[in-house]
Structures are given as structure tokens and as C-alpha cells.
Amino acid sequence: MKAMVVVLHGANTRGIGAYGNEWIATPTLDRLAAQGVVFDQHHADHPGDIRSLLSGCYHLPPFEGEPTHPDGIAMLQAAGVRCERILDLLEPARTIPGNWDADDADETPLPDRIAAALDRLQAHDQWLLWVESDRLIPPWEVDPQTFDAYAGEIAPVDRFAEKKAADAAQAALEAALEAAQVEPELGAPVANPFAGLDANSEPEAPREPQQPWPEPPEGEIDADDLELYDRLHNTFAAVMTEMDRELGTIWNLLEQRGLAESCLFSVTSTGGYPLAEHGVIGYSAPCLHEEATHIPWIIRLPNQQQSGRRILALTQSVDLLPTLAAWFEQPPLPGVHGRNALPLIRGERVNWRQYAIFADDFEQEISIGIRTDRWSFHLPLPADENSPFIEPQLFEKPDDPHERNDLRMQHLDWCDALEDLLDAFHTATTQAGPLPDLPLPNDPAESNDSDSENSSEHEDDSAGDSGADDEADSDDAPNESAKRRR
């Protein structure tokens, strides 16, 4: 058995064609997705942190009293798997030390180092090649021609000019009619509010061509500065396309060696790099929005097995290591929190998790959250008892993909139940051993929906709902964890 894992620090799903992006060119990732399996709801547990991928365990702040997580790579090595790592990192702190059989961090071109590693590994029956790159995180190396392909043609022209002109014409017409206080008769001529304007007049002078922004400062950005926002995203698009092009070179190395028929190839991320989608660039504040937590996971099996399959189950970074262990035909790893995703890949019916958990921190600020198939709940934690209270947020999925409409005030009891679950889950992750079964509380909104439908359609679900009802009954108790955080 053979496997290669590519970890793209800073990548999220919004920059990849296979996940719905229509303007950034990622032909290699799109090809791998078409030939492989795409996990549509894959979430980081701690954006930017590699430890959950290597241990199979959640690594959620705050970290007081956390146990020593298992060394997943050492477990694979003990089973006879040769494990090599290649690092392509501007910031070495993005990864952690490890006892790899070979650990390559020199500065020669990445494809050359991968080619050399593949040649070494050909002598082994079982091997894992682990590659990490942080090129998607500033400072970026921006290819000018690729950047111009995104920004060069659109920068001098306002892409919304036609819509603005139509809106202005409509507004002016309505204003003229209101001022005249008359209703136009059908077929009667209406005074032209644009009389005196030359329709063939010269347009405004074009703006200066847009320039790449290789080192955007982390922190808040003016949300109304569309030009700056556009420049930031065009720069990232150019970097993403160049990274995809290099992935294509790497994939060709495997094909040339016949490894496309024998090697599992996986691409994932530790967390997305925020690009001011919510007014902040980079890791300068805790971020649990989708630009940070919703990350790619694409697996191409040998000979394109299961190609084209899309998996909607909620998967997380902790699932990578157990999946690799199963691929190498090893028994479940002891003490890990993640789950083997190979049954999902094969289309088997699996009792899978009901929710994903994630947390993020910056300096003394911490936020922890939960994602279900219907909701995303974000809970800021105070640094100490004197810290100001920050309102939690609740977003409906998939109706609110950009997470703009906070619905917490309409679902306070549900949010309190989720807060209790988060508290219990975090406590469980700081203790040794596998996670206990912590079921999702009963969602009142789903209960209301089901009551309005024909009960016969849900007879098969009645047994599973009873446990959730018991959990809902316990919500009447005082919410001590909520009081403690406030």
C-alpha cells in the first residue's frame, strides 16, 4: 500500500473549482476531484494547526490540562510503513517536529524533491509521502502574468457599470415622477430626466491597472473599499492557480512512475486563510467562519476507484490519520478521536457523527463552535472574569453560506443546549482515551418541521429520535456553563 498526502496550509473550499468556485482556475484539483472522491463538508478543528492531522485527535483551545496525543506517524512506522516528509514552508512553525524516516526541508524546487523521494520509496512495499506547503499564506510569490489574467482586463473597467447605470436611470425616473406628482398615462410621453446629457459622451478616465498585493497587512480592512478587496482576492487567485499548476507537475511525477494505479493521493488543508470576507485579513482574530474552517479534502484512489463520489457527511481533520491507517490495513488506532472514512468512500451506510467541532484563538481571545447539517454556532469565550461579554452567533445552513444573518435571538434555548454540548465535548478532548458518545440535543426547529409532515414518513427514525428527546428534556435545568462564561 502506498499513499501521498499534500497539505496546503491556507486553502479553503472557496478557491477551488470542484467546490463551486467559477472564476479561479484550478484544473489539477478539478481533475483529481473528477477522478476521486470529494468530501463536501470537511472542517478543520483548529484552523492552521497541523496536530490534528498527525495525531487523529482534536486540539481545541483553551489547552489547560490536555493529554499527550498519540503519535500517528510512529504508529504507522511500527506497522512497517516508511514515512517521509517534505516541507515547503516559509514559516517552519506551521508544522511540528516528528521522527520521520526522512525529513526534507531544503530550498530546492518542490517537484525535484518529490521526484527524489518517489525514487527512494520505490524500494518499499508500504510508504507514506507527506508534503506540506504554505504558499497560500502571505507573503505571496505572485506571477505577474497570472495576476494580469485575473486583474488586467477588469481593473480599468467598473464590472458593475451596466447595473449601476440601469439603477441610476430607474432612480432618476422615479424621482422625476414623484416631483411632478403625476401618474404617467399609458402611452403618454414622459419627460426625459437625462435631458441635456450626451449619450455618446466620453467615459471617465480609466483607473490605473491593478497591481499585485503580495504582503497584505493582517488585521481589519475597510469593508467598503471594494477596490482593495478586489485586489486582495485577485492576488490570492493568481497564487492559487500557480499552486494548482505545481500540483499538476507533482501528479505527473506519480503518473510517470505508474503510481496512479497503486497510490492513494490526498489533498487537504489545516485551515483557510481569511481574505476579509468578514472584515479581517489573516490570523489576527479568532475566526470560525467558513473561510477558515471549511477546507478541502479530496482523495483519489488507485485506478480512479469510486471516482465522482461526493460525500456530504461532516468530516474533520482528525479523520485523515484513521483513514490512512485503514488504507494500510491496520486496526483502529488506540486513543484517536477521528474516524476511518473509507466506508464513506465505498458508499457504505455508516453511523457517522452528527456535528463537527472547531475552535480558534488569537492571543487571549478564544472562540469555539459547532457545525451541524443545519446550523453553525459560534461561541466566544472570555479571557477572564473581567472580559466583556461577546454575543454568540447562530447561522442557518445551507441558506446562509456567507454567514451574514445571525439567528441566535430566535433560538436562544437551542443555543444554550449547543453551548452545554460544546463545554462537554471540549472537556472530553482534554482527557485520555476515545471520545464518549455525546449526542446532539434535539433541534426544536427540526421538531417543528417534522410535526408538520406525515408521521408515516418518519417511522424508521422514531427510535433514534427518542434519545434526542431525552437530551432535550435535560435542557430545562439551569444552564450553569452559560452563566459561568458570562
Domain boundaries, the chain: 2-144+226-354, 146-216, 374-485
Supply the pLDDT for residue 386: 74
Q: Is the pLDDT of residue 473 over 80?
A: no
Whole-prediction pTM value? 0.82
**Choice among 96-110, 192-206, 264-278, 335-349 with the minimum mean pLDDT:** 192-206
CATH of 2-144+226-354, one of 3.40.720.10, 3.20.20.70, 1.20.1250.20, 2.60.200.20: 3.40.720.10
Q: Are 316 and 341 in contact (CB under 8 A)?
A: no
> Cα separation of 24 and 169, whole Å?
33
| Side chain identity at residue 240, one-letter code | M
- The enclosing H or E element of 413 equals helix 412-429
Higher pLDDT: 367 or 225? It is 367
> Cα separation of 272 and 287, whole Å?
10
Average pLDDT over residues 426-441: 88
> Cα separation of 486 and 483, whole Å?
5
Average pLDDT over residues 127-148: 96
Chain-centre distance for alpha carbon 291? 6
**Choice among 186-200, 325-339, 362-376, 424-438 with the minimum mean pLDDT:** 186-200
